[in-house]
Chain A
Amino acid sequence: MKQVLEGSHAVSEAVRLARVQVVSAYPITPQTHIVEAISEFCSDGTMDARFICVESEHSAMAAVIGASNAGVRAFTATSSHGLALMHELLHWASGARLPIVMAEVNRALAPGWNIWTDQTDSLAQRDTGWIQLYCEDGQEVLDTTLEAFRLAEAVNLPVMVVLDAFFLSHTFEPVDVPDQDTVDRFLPPFDPRFRLDTKNPCAFGPITGPDRYMEIRRDIQAAMDRAPEVLAAVEQEFFSLFGRRYGAVDAFLCDDAEVILVVSGTAAATCRQAVGDLRKTGERVGMLKIRLFRPFPATEIRAILPKAPKVAVVDRNVSFGAGGIFAQEVKAALALHKGNTAVYSYIAGLGGRDITTATFQEIYLTTKDTPTPPAESVWVGLAQEERA
């Protein structure tokens, strides 16, 4: 049934429908609405789940790690500094192969204090072994959260469902909230491959010497390698039940494009509009939305981007000293390809600054008019006095 839902509550509804058994979280703007609604579901009996209140995000992740190791479906949510505080345990969750799902609301890191959207927080966790899926709108948030449990439990890796602060977390949109029976068919009860069992006692995560450690790491990499195929399978089932699918990437008008704009998150929705507008004026421009960031969908990207001579990657994030993070990954993915596609890197919209259709038009025109890409990322939309 369609409801007008805040993006945050699209997550909450999905968690309810997923019959999550343990939730632990610590409030942080702009994530709080997600767990606020879930805590009410837990207290009023809408969800048969235990909500564990904790004193920090580090403890929240520790609690869901414990719950997941005990063999129940577990969820948490955080943002920005909360995610940074979790960092140590993010490694633990993936290393312990626990299918935890976490909603992560992209918010800038301080200083200066900024609660608005920026992807640097989640991208800073790219090497922790978590699968990352970036969402464009409220419906995608709900659907991705449901898919995330299925994906996580299939490959035994944790999944981060990422959504933009405010543009998505606090924006109300019509969202189709599926009925419980259909969701139950898509997402059966969690059947863990391993769990803490007092009848068969063992310790998870004991000391592991040089003779064993590397094989375990290789197994995590192998699980990551399988994830795109598994995601495709999950989405196929999801599509058959709900009629919606998103893909690891989403190509829009790329086939004949001379410039393909590469985006993620809510900027993709704006970009669709900008591409449509430019097409009407005869410009041959397309868009590639990257939804799956880890594992990075290099194969899918190599199947699309080399069609165009120029690619402009728009990053709402920055790795200081290296530039836009998506751009680096795209360049790495294309390095194996023998084509001549030039990759242009742009940084825009940090700390919640709006990325408008005009921003995309500027990026498109700059890319079109610049014969070879500059070595560094180009910062778009800076105030004049700041540039000096």
Chain B
Amino acid sequence: MEIHTALSKQPAVLLACSTLSTDTNMTGTWRFVRPFHDEKTAPCGAACPAGEDIARIQMLTGRGAFRDAVETILLENPFPATCGRVCFQFCEGACNRASFDDPVGIRYVERFLGDMALAEGWARVPLKEPETPRKAAVIGAGPAGLSAAYFLGLLGWSCEVFEAAREPGGLMRWGIPAYRLSKDVLQREVARILRLGIVIKYGRTVRPQDLARIREEYDAVFVGCGLSRSIRLQIPGEDLALEGLDFLGRIRRGEVDAVSGTAAVIGGGNTAMDVARSLVRLGAEPIIVYRRRREDMPAFEHEIIMALEEGVRLMELVSPLKANRDGEDIILTLQEMRPAGVGPDGRARVAPDGERRQSLRVRSLFTALGSSAAPEWAPPAEQSQQLLRLGHITIRNGPAPLVFGGDLTNETQSVTDAVASGKMAALALDTCLEEGWERIIQSLGRARVGPGPALSMESYLGGARADRNRTVVSFEQLNMDYFQPLQRILPTIQSPEERRAGFSEIEGVYKKEEARAEATRCFNCGICNECDNCRIFCPEVAVEAGSGRRILLDYCKGCGICVVECPRNALSLEEEAS
């Protein structure tokens, strides 16, 4: 019994215990530095010509909020399914994850979302309504013209697009081989653009002399007619060659079934790769003939690798001197070249290697040397207060402002750069008509992503992204304690043998789980993904969770733990105003 007493009759414990609320102790008065949620710019979004909010897109995709992710893209880019296939993924080149394991498969995720958007019929509706109705004319239904119309459409404008061809898409339709972009995907993305009320007038070639009349009928004009003049080799016998872009267009119109024998493709850019790779599929044996070395090629490395995998051969350091017909064959005479230092533009230079020559017997000859603007469509070059050259566009003031965009003005010729041009045009025109010509620079500055030049529609409209700090988050600014190596997920991809067999799309698309998993690899640099590290680590429990995270300044002592423990640098510390 005594034993039981010892065990059961323990006196109450005298404890230091308080039921007072924290109201009595406003520890915030101790603070001399103040943490704040300070969303910054992820390097991917700053590198994306279209200024997509990639960190947020990955965050939403990782959560399975696919529709929100799609809408986030569609605010900045009308062509996710297209860009998800053909973009040269500038974002992945900038991805901080590359310093850790492998960059996030951003383009694969975009393709997944783009395809899902088409399958689900998700689209954006106009985001505002101008006080007075605005109407724009767009010359060319290529990626730049359609983007300009799309973004103007989002801003409540009505647009009419004049297109010389019978189908929309421009270079996306005629210049990109089907194994990279199927016709069906493009058509459906254009159809979504047209749901904004945009009208395309096909078979309507606009000449420069028509502009004056058009400017009278519309509030603004966007010229995105592309580069229609191919650069010539200027060698004897050049007329034996087919121009590469024309050839790609003929393939896409179904006018070429097969090509046999050896084919020389002169050039080292992306079009040369497209031509050579198409020739492989048509049954020819293409050889790329390039005057510099492989590492000097302007084509993207990924394209070169794919071409070589598919059996395209490469001759480096040879420059064509002449082409002669020899029966069914063409004899190409080549001057051997040697490297000769670096030019003022930073590109490698080559010089003839004495008199060393070679001849190459081929069945067909192609040139892919790039294009330039037809002289009559060259953007104006004069210096004037009424003319702004803004990188992706050149805009001339007037009763109806006139914009030259797309490949006419872009330094890099890509679909995504064309989207950038169309967006910049739309924002500039909207500002010009709503606020005045002199406000354009300031307005675009407000809309820029990070340090620019990419622009954001969301920021232009004063959305949350406009408040984001323009500092681009570097790898060193992340807290890597919270990340583990994760293998980059690859979609299915055809073997070189499968690729050679035809023009079907090479890359597969992620399954839902794959898209989520890959998007989850994203560090979400600079943005709050509500991981709650700030809240969990706060010794004062002074971070409140709700929609977003809020610091309770009545209690925050300014210790800065939240700032340090934020894995993605979405908080900052500032000195308290005295």
Contacts and interface: CB of A to CB of B under 8 A. Distances in A.
Contacts of B14: 215-216, 219
Contacts of A222: 11
A154 interface: yes
Contact of A156 (B7, B13, B18, B19): B13
A376 interface: no
Contacts of B19: 201-203
Contacts of B10: 154-156, 193, 226, 230
Contacts of B17: 194, 202-206
A304 B12 CA distance: 34
Interface string A209-226: 000110110010011001
A103 to B, nearest CB: 23
B479 to A, nearest CB: 15
A156 B429 CA distance: 75
B4 interface: yes
B381 interface: no
A166 B17 CA distance: 42
A237 interface: yes
Interface string A309-320: 000000000000
Interface string B1-24: 011101100111111111110000
B13 A97 contact: yes
A234 B18 contact: no
A270 B349 CA distance: 88
Interface residues of B, number: 16
Contact of B15 (A194, A201, A233): A194
A384 interface: no
Contacts of A206: 16-18, 20
Given A155-B10, A232-B6, A234-B7, A203 B18 contact: yes
Contacts, number: 62
Interface string B163-178: 0000000000000000
A323 to B, nearest CB: 35
Contact of A233 (B6, B12, B13, B20): B6
A236 interface: yes
Contacts of B16: 95, 204-206, 208, 212-213, 216
Nearest to A153: B10
A233 B4 contact: yes
A206 B15 CA distance: 10
A194 B6 contact: no
Interface in B111-167: none
Interface in B1-53: 2-4, 6-7, 10-20
Interface in A220-278: 222-223, 226, 229-230, 232-234, 236-237
B482 to A, nearest CB: 14
Contact of B3 (A193, A226, A236): A236
A318 to B, nearest CB: 35
Given A202-B18, A206-B18, A229 B13 contact: no
A237 B13 contact: no
A205 B13 CA distance: 13
A193 B13 contact: yes
Nearest to A213: B16
Interface string A155-175: 110000000000000000000
A63 to B, nearest CB: 14
Interface in A130-178: 150, 154-156
A219 B10 CA distance: 12
Interface in A100-144: none
Contact of A204 (B2, B11, B15): B15
A229 B18 contact: no
A95 B15 CA distance: 8
B13 A230 contact: no
Contacts of B18: 202-203, 206
Determine which residue in B14, B19, B20 has the highest number of CB atoms from chain A within 10 A of its CB, and name it: B14
Contacts of A204: 15-17
A95 B2 CA distance: 28
A246 to B, nearest CB: 16
Contacts of A201: 19
A42 B2 CA distance: 38
A39 to B, nearest CB: 20
Contacts of A237: 3, 7
A96 B17 CA distance: 9
A157 to B, nearest CB: 10
B15 A216 contact: yes
B368 to A, nearest CB: 59
Contacts of A226: 6, 10
Nearest to A215: B14
B7 to A, nearest CB: 5
A194 B11 CA distance: 13
B6 to A, nearest CB: 4
Nearest to A218: B14
Nearest to A234: B7
B7 A230 contact: yes
Interface in A59-106: 95-97
A187 to B, nearest CB: 12
A236 B15 CA distance: 29
B7 A154 contact: yes
A216 B17 CA distance: 11
A327 B550 CA distance: 59
Nearest to B16: A208
Contacts of A219: 13-14
Contacts of A95: 16
Contacts of A215: 14
A222 B16 CA distance: 16
A204 B17 CA distance: 5
A222 B278 CA distance: 91
Contacts of A154: 6-7, 10
Contacts of B4: 233
B15 A229 contact: no
27 contacts: A95-B16, A97-B15, A154-B6, A154-B10, A155-B10, A156-B13, A193-B12, A194-B15, A194-B17, A201-B19, A202-B17, A203-B19, A203-B20, A206-B17, A206-B18, A208-B16, A213-B16, A216-B16, A219-B13, A223-B13, A226-B10, A230-B6, A230-B10, A233-B2, A233-B7, A236-B3, A237-B7
Interface of B: 2-4, 6-7, 10-20
Given A222-B11, A223-B13, 10 more contacts: A97-B13, A154-B6, A193-B10, A201-B19, A212-B16, A213-B16, A219-B14, A230-B7, A232-B3, A233-B6
> 10 nearest interchain CB pairs?
A219-B14, A206-B18, A233-B6, A233-B3, A208-B16, A202-B19, A203-B18, A233-B7, A236-B3, A97-B13
